[in-house]
Amino acid sequence: MSTEAELREQMATLTRIFAMRGLLGVHGHISGYAPDSGRIYMCRGLGSDKATTRPEDLFVFDLAGQVVEGEGRVPLEWPIHTAIHAARPDALAVAHLHSPWATLFAVAQRPYLPVLIAARWFAAGLQVYPEPHLITTPERGERVRELLGADQALLLRGHGVVVAANNLQELLYIAVTLEDNARAAVQAAALGTPDFLDEAAFAGVEPDTTMSIRARLVWDYFARLEARWDRQPPFGVGALG
């Protein structure tokens, strides 16, 4: 695992990449957990400018939800992060996103399924958190964790998504896959019911690469793009979700 300085650097980079892709809007936030120290690093929440996040801008929480470092307004929905980090050693990275396309499946009355082979990770479908409120208490956080189970993503009804991954590189990969596949599924639906790729469609098909290799290459790609981003406000997507 990375040092604290490396983890802070990666957290800031990923926050800016998500901002560049329009996945955070004004509300989203992400976290990275360091199991050795028990510290959860979390970016700032509502109203903060994610596109300019630096390593020193992060909050540090403990697993009980206490702020250990950082001043000011913490993200209202911090219980999403603490509940998952406390229970899933395989989920050191968590995001709450207002991804414009993926959120449509938390609005539509139709299951989220892959239409792209890159979204194979979701071939068993996704659960939906059913209550139309924010995740503002440990109890609600716990319910999110239960519904997420061992999955990598959860839909929040009329609200957004939660993504959980082994590390920050894989978090980026899964979040982008989730969003790309949602866009393709919605746009293809104009042509009729898409060819959904459920588990049966992938039966007997070996994955062509490992997640960890792909995730590292995709991270490098977006990090390079983010480095030259002119930080103009995203246009043509929702802001509040």
Residues 29-88 that bind its own copies (CB under 8 A): 46-49, 51, 73, 76
- Considering only residues 21, 29, 96, 145, which one is a binding residue for its own copies as defined by CB under 8 A? 21
For residue 165, state whether it binds its own copies (rule: CB under 8 A): no
With respect to its own copies, which residue has the nearer C-beta, 3 or 204?
204
For residue 208, state whether it binds its own copies (rule: CB under 8 A): yes
For residue 197, state whether it binds its own copies (rule: CB under 8 A): yes
d(CA 32, CA 92) in angstroms, rounded, equals 6
Sign of CA dihedral 162, 166, 172, 178: negative
With respect to its own copies, which residue has the nearer C-beta, 46 or 87?
46
A 10 A CB-CB count for 203 gives 8
Sign of CA dihedral 233, 235, 237, 238: positive
- Considering only residues 63, 67, 87, 134, which one is a binding residue for its own copies as defined by CB under 8 A? 134
With respect to its own copies, which residue has the nearer C-beta, 1 or 107?
107
Least distance CB 145 / its own copies (angstroms): 19
101-120 positions binding its own copies, by CB under 8 A: 101, 103-105, 107-110, 114-118, 120
d(CA 9, CA 28) in angstroms, rounded, equals 19
For residue 150, state whether it binds its own copies (rule: CB under 8 A): no
With respect to its own copies, which residue has the nearer C-beta, 37 or 54?
54
For residue 131, state whether it binds its own copies (rule: CB under 8 A): yes
- Considering only residues 11, 12, 14, 20, which one is a binding residue for its own copies as defined by CB under 8 A? 20
Sign of CA dihedral 123, 129, 135, 137: negative
Least distance CB 13 / its own copies (angstroms): 14
For residue 24, state whether it binds its own copies (rule: CB under 8 A): no
With respect to its own copies, which residue has the nearer C-beta, 39 or 168?
168
Could you give the count of Cα atoms lying within 13 Å of 150 in the half-sphere of its Cβ? 1
- Considering only residues 55, 67, 194, 211, which one is a binding residue for its own copies as defined by CB under 8 A? 194
With respect to its own copies, which residue has the nearer C-beta, 87 or 134?
134
- Considering only residues 1, 68, 124, 205, which one is a binding residue for its own copies as defined by CB under 8 A? 205
DSSP bridge pairs for 154: 162
Least distance CB 52 / its own copies (angstroms): 9
Rg (CA), the chain: 17
Token pair recorded at residue 211: 């997640």
